[in-house]
Amino acid sequence: MTTHNNPKILVIHGPNLNMLGKREPEIYGKETLDDINHKITLKGSEISLAVETFQSNHEGAVVEKIQSAMGNFNGLIINPAAFTHTSVAIRDAVLLLDMPVIEVHLSNIYKREPFRHKSMLADVVTGQIAGLGTIGYILALEAIADMVQKPK
């Protein structure tokens, strides 16, 4: 599915990311989620992608949004946040998708507490970017653009 011939990319932000800028700025930086979404949307239009962003603190809402991507989007970028380490439901929803999926983390989850080292999604996503801060979302957009804009 495309809008105005531009592939549609869904970007999902998980729990507590709505508190960016206030929440542990030494780990997550000072940018707000609105700042990040603005950068993502701007970059999307620069590289001919239609981008929709979504954030929820509720696992079921994230699952439903992933399910809604089927047939409506060409790719998914997801920062599942705390759900990364716990959510079989989000993993199962991602498995429904026939599109590139990139998992993004602002911090390097492998340099943090041991419980954060395990991603329930790592083995079912196309790729993972962790530890590069907000630039990780931009790199994910560039990668997904390359995947969905290639002639088949």
Which domains does the chain show, CATH number per domain?
2-149 (3.40.50.9100)
What pLDDT, in 10s, does the model give residues 24-79? 767 667 789 999 999 999 999 999 999 999 999 999 999 999 999 999 999 999 99
CB count in 10 Å sphere of residue 13? 25
Stretch (H or E) spanning 60: helix 59-68
Residues 9-30 have a mean pLDDT of 85
Task: Choose among 109, 106, 113, 103: nearest CA to 132.
Answer: 106
What span, in angstroms and rounded, lies between the C-alpha atoms of 39 and 34? 9
Which pLDDT score is estimated for 1?
A: 43
Catalytic residue ranges: 28, 105
Give φ, ψ of 105 to 5 degrees.
Answer: -135, 135
pLDDT at 114 over 80: no
Per-residue pLDDT at 151 = 67
Give the type of residue at 103: E
Query: pLDDT confidence of 152, banded at 50, 70, 90?
Result: low
Predicted confidence band at 106 (pLDDT cuts at 50, 70, 90)? very high
φ and ψ at residue 150, rounded to 5 degrees: -70, 140
